[in-house]
Amino acid sequence: MAGVHVSTTINGDPVEFVCQPGEVLLDVLRNRIGLTGAKEGCGTGDCGACSVTVDGRLVCACLVLGAEVEGRSVTTVEGLASGGELHPLQRKFIEHAALQCGICTPGFLVAAKALLDRNASPSEEEIRYALAGNLCRCTGYDKIVRAVQAAASELATDATRKSGKASGSKSGRKSTKKQVA
Amino acid sequence: MKYEAPTSTKDAVALLAKNKGSAYVLAGGSDLLVRLKGGFIEPDLIVDIKRIGAMQEIKKTASGFRIGAAVPCVAMGESQALNKAWPGVVEAAKLIGSDQVQGRCTVTGNLCNASPAADSVPALVTARAKAVVVGPKGRRTVAVEKIPAGPGRTTLTKGELIEAITLPAPKPKTGDAYLRFTPRTEMDIAVCSAAVSVTLGKGGVVEEARVALGAVAPTVVLVPAAAKAIIGTKLDAAALDALAAACRAACSPIDDKRGTVEFRTDVAGVLAKRAAKVAYQRAGGK
């Protein structure tokens, strides 16, 4: 069986691989690229443990062919932390003990990130609906929901502080002008 | 197995036509890849249609909308124009699977998978949606309800694929709605379902109506008798009871672990009533 040659971007890095035509992205990531963050829970798109984004859309990597990501941009849980610093979601999951066995956690993090990217301050109901495609058999979900809420509010505070600083410096400049005038 | 990702409908049709073995069209893959991995199908060829430009967009046309076969349901939810015109179609499409599945699944795939419980199909039927079918003999446009032939079977012939689903622009004072029964609130498959669209005339009287049921027969069922029961009324209690009775009479469901014949038949009537009320309100009726 002839392999398919694929050039793609994974977590911002250009990547090339050869895979079988029927090989799913999850197997490519885990077995060929060495990114084992995405997990295989069910393999049928029901549990969300293999959640990744392709061109910004949240998908199950077990239901995407490796060959399909030619020229696309894939983000996995390994792409969440930047410069050795955990993403606020990752920190809040640890602080709130939002994991036990940890198999579902990468999928929850990727799905929660996708949610916060499009809705910065989701209600509890919105969080529960958005994460309905991710199954956890340990935590009972409450701690996960709390962790996502905490991360959302931290990200919102950071955003306000940043914009506050910006406008603060602006008004600072203005007042300087006034003083000069 | 070969994987091909053509960039035009013409090339996709040519690939399907010249293939001698079993060939499958890949849109979102949320049904196809499950069957592939489970060993239920052994394709010689998979034709991925997601590189075909025209299949990836929702277009507003002179007559309404054209939803490309590769448009994921999440994109339907993001289209304000589509939400405004056919909220029932969008709410049905948005009920399929999780956010992860929404990012991939398509209404064309939902139709071609030919499950009697397909969520988007009853709402497409009541909205008078049509499928643009392309094959070796050219293009044909058929009503969506003509596509499913039975569980897992369609009326498409060898080498044919659906390029797009079209929806008419709704007439003034039109509303539609889709409701399903599932034991869980999310991530479940309809035990039975109902879609209703209504167009109101003077004084809020129903002038036109369409009623379709899901998961109560081998294919989606359009129920003209149920539509007739509410045409000329303002959805008074008697009209709604007649609607429910007509729906129940049109049911021929199976008995399985998810619902009995009696349960499905009874609930189909209840859902049709509720969907009719929502559609009526959306049409501007009070």
Domains of chain B by residue range: 2-168, 174-282
Q: A60 and chain B: CB distance < 8 Å anywhere?
A: yes
Are A45 and B100 in contact (CB < 8 Å)?
yes
User: A114 contacts in B (CB within 8 Å)?
Assistant: 99
Minimal CA separation from B67 to chain A, in Å: 18
Using DSSP, state whether B51 is helix, strand or coil.
coil
Q: Which of residues 52-91 of B touch A (CB under 8 A)?
A: 72, 74
The CATH number of residue A58's host domain is 3.10.20.30
What pLDDT tens digit does each residue of chain B (286 aa) get?
A: 999 999 999 999 999 999 999 999 999 999 999 999 999 999 999 999 999 999 999 999 999 999 999 999 999 999 999 999 999 999 999 999 999 999 999 999 999 999 999 999 999 999 999 999 999 999 999 999 999 999 999 999 989 999 999 999 999 999 999 999 999 887 889 999 999 999 999 999 999 999 999 999 999 999 999 999 999 999 999 999 999 999 999 999 999 999 999 999 999 999 999 999 999 999 999 8
Provide the CB-side half-sphere exposure for B147 (13 A, CA). 31
CATH of B2-168, one of 3.40.50.1820, 3.40.50.300, 3.30.465.10, 1.10.3210.10: 3.30.465.10
Assign A159 a pLDDT band (cuts: 50, 70, 90).
confident
pLDDT of residue B186: 79
Q: What is the pLDDT of residues A35-86, one digit of tens each?
A: 999 999 999 999 999 999 999 999 999 999 999 999 999 999 999 999 889 9
The CATH H-level superfamily of B174-282 is CO dehydrogenase flavoprotein, C-terminal domain (3.30.390.50)
Measured between beta carbons, the chain A residues lying within 8 angstroms of B26 are: 65, 68
Same domain, residue pair A93 and A120: yes
Rounded Cα distance between A26 and A57, Å, is 15
User: Do both A40 and A67 map to the same domain?
Assistant: yes
Residues A126 and A61 both lie in one domain: no
Asked if residue A33 lies in contact with residue A50, where contact means CB atoms within 8 angstroms, the answer is no
- Domain range enclosing A145: 81-170
The answer to whether residues A92 and A74 belong to one domain is: no
**ipTM surpassing 0.85:** yes
Q: Do A85 and A70 fall within a single domain?
A: no
Query: In the prediction, which pLDDT does A160 show?
Result: 84
Number of domains in chain A: 2
- First CA to last CA across chain B, in angstroms? 57
User: Does residue A176 lie in a domain region?
Assistant: no
Q: pLDDT band at A168, cuts 50/70/90?
A: very low
Residue A177 lies in a domain: no
Asked whether residue A161 carries a pLDDT value surpassing 90, the answer given is no
Flag if A58 and B99 touch (Cβ within 8 Å). yes
Same-domain pairing of A6 and A39 = yes
Cβ contact, residue pair A67, B48, below 8 Å: yes
Whether A175 is covered by a domain: the verdict is no
Residues A27 and A65 reside in one and the same domain: yes
- Are A94 and A24 in a shared domain? no
- d(CA A76, CA A37) in angstroms, rounded, equals 7
User: Are residues A34 and A100 both part of a single domain?
Assistant: no
A24 CB within 8 Å of a chain B CB: yes
